[in-house]
Amino acid sequence: MGEIVLSGIRATGKLHLGNFLGAVQNFVRFQNSGEHRCFYFVADQHTLTEPYDPEDLRQYLLEMVKDYLALGLDPERSTLYVQSSVPEITELTLYLGMLQPVGELLNIPTYKELVRKHPDNVNHGLLTYPVLMAADILGPKATLVPVGSDQVPNVELARDLAKRFNNRFGHTFVVPEMMRQMVKVPGLDGGKMGKSDADNAIEIKMPIPEIRQRYRTKGITDKERTTMDKPGDPYNRCMSVYPVHELVTPGETDTREIAKACMAAEIGCVACKERLVDSLAAMLEPFQARRVELAGKDDYVREVLHEGGKAARVIIAETVAEVRDKMGIVLY
Ligand code: TRP
Ligand code: SF4
């Protein structure tokens, strides 16, 4: 049987290669397999928990959705929507909150991290972030949730809430499985792309010549390989070039051709970086062409989100009606 796949995307800024290879590619695979019902949404309300600018949020959201559409999410095959378009999610957050001990929320690692990051902005929304996330997941009764490893505790909490609700009020929710997206894409400085700073990231909209320039000047190769006739260690010491080859250069993962050439000192780092950017170009160019087509199509994107919102709302409203009923809430 097919899964009900669901994942949320925070509306913060620009998509980079790490987002694409780590997450979006999976979303598209689930969608294109034709076996699953897929829900992908922009978690705009989650974005409000951290300091933000309303105008940026409005703008980023449409731009991000254009990126996702250009990368292959298809409104005919997936339900694409924005969290706030479905007010029943907020309502479900309130109901689920009644089953959620505060102590557990205080111990969620992402919460603790944000308290450290913005000690003067520890708002209620930040604390209940995982409950809103549980409502996102349980609203469409998702069975499979692909997420990055930082989101694992949040999905655990959603699973616990599903069980708690079922125990207290009778079977209502499927306990969702989680799928960890393990692909890690190093940024130019060798750290996680986009995490340490924006400058280490390769934006997927970046013109290829700029990507080339960035790898040439900032890509970190095996530092102990000071001359071309010294063999390199692609697996352990090449920080930001070889690991990306493994993800984007066709055949590399199977044949290890570049790794072997590096270890035999048959390829230099300059040529190796050029090849990497050629592979990236082949992968990104079709996306960039579609993205240019979508650039001026705000109305189309709004329409996609409007239709997706309506479709999601029908399904989520059904769950929320069931939840109200079981909890003894009557709409008069
Ligand atoms: N919190 C997630 C993140 O930062 C985004 C998100 C919101 C999400 N709701 C979700 C992911 C529901 C999976 C399921 O990446
Ligand atoms: Fe890295 Fe390529 Fe240089 Fe080897 S040749 S160290 S894989 S950049």
**Tens digits of pLDDT across the chain (332 residues):** 799 999 999 877 688 999 999 999 999 999 999 999 999 999 999 999 988 999 999 999 999 999 999 999 999 999 999 999 999 999 999 999 999 999 999 999 989 999 999 899 899 999 999 999 999 999 999 999 999 988 999 999 999 999 999 999 999 999 999 999 888 899 999 998 876 677 899 999 999 999 999 999 999 999 999 999 999 999 999 999 999 999 999 989 889 999 999 999 999 999 999 999 999 999 999 999 999 999 999 999 999 999 999 999 999 999 999 999 999 999 99
Ligand nearest to the CA of 186: 2
* pTM for this prediction: 0.93
Kindly give the distance from the C-alpha atom of residue 270 to the centroid of ligand 1, in angstroms, as a whole number.
39
Ligand 1: residue of 131, 151, 156 to mutate (most ligand atoms within 8 A of CB) is: 151
List strands edge to edge, sheet with 144-147. Answer: 78-82, 37-43, 4-10, 144-147, 177-180
Kindly give the distance from the C-alpha atom of residue 128 to the centroid of ligand 2, in angstroms, as a whole number.
45
Question: Which residues lie with the beta carbon below 6 Å from any ligand 1 atom?
Answer: 6-8, 10, 43, 46, 133, 136-137, 145, 147, 151
Helical (H) or strand (E) element with 165: helix 152-169
Q: Please tell me the distance from the alpha carbon of residue 328 to that of residue 77, in angstroms, as a whole number.
A: 36
Ligand 1: residue of 7, 50, 93 to mutate (most ligand atoms within 8 A of CB) is: 7
Question: Which residues lie with the beta carbon below 6 Å from any ligand 2 atom?
Answer: 221-222, 225, 232, 234, 238, 241-242, 258, 262, 267, 269, 272-273
Domains of the chain: 4-185+297-327 (3.40.50.620), 206-293 (1.10.240.10)
Instruction: Using alpha carbons, select from 227, 283, 223, 233 the residue that is nearest to residue 258.
Output: 233
Helical (H) or strand (E) element with 127: helix 124-127
Q: Tell me the three state secondary structure of residue 144.
A: strand
Q: Phi/psi zone of residue 219: left (φ > 0), alpha (ψ -120 to 50 degrees), beta?
A: beta
Kindly give the distance from the C-alpha atom of residue 46 to the centroid of ligand 1, in angstroms, as a whole number.
8
Ligand nearest to the CA of 6: 1
For 230, other C-beta atoms within 10 Å of its C-beta total 10
Residue 203 in contact with residue 196, Cβ under 8 Å?
no
Ligand nearest to the CA of 145: 1
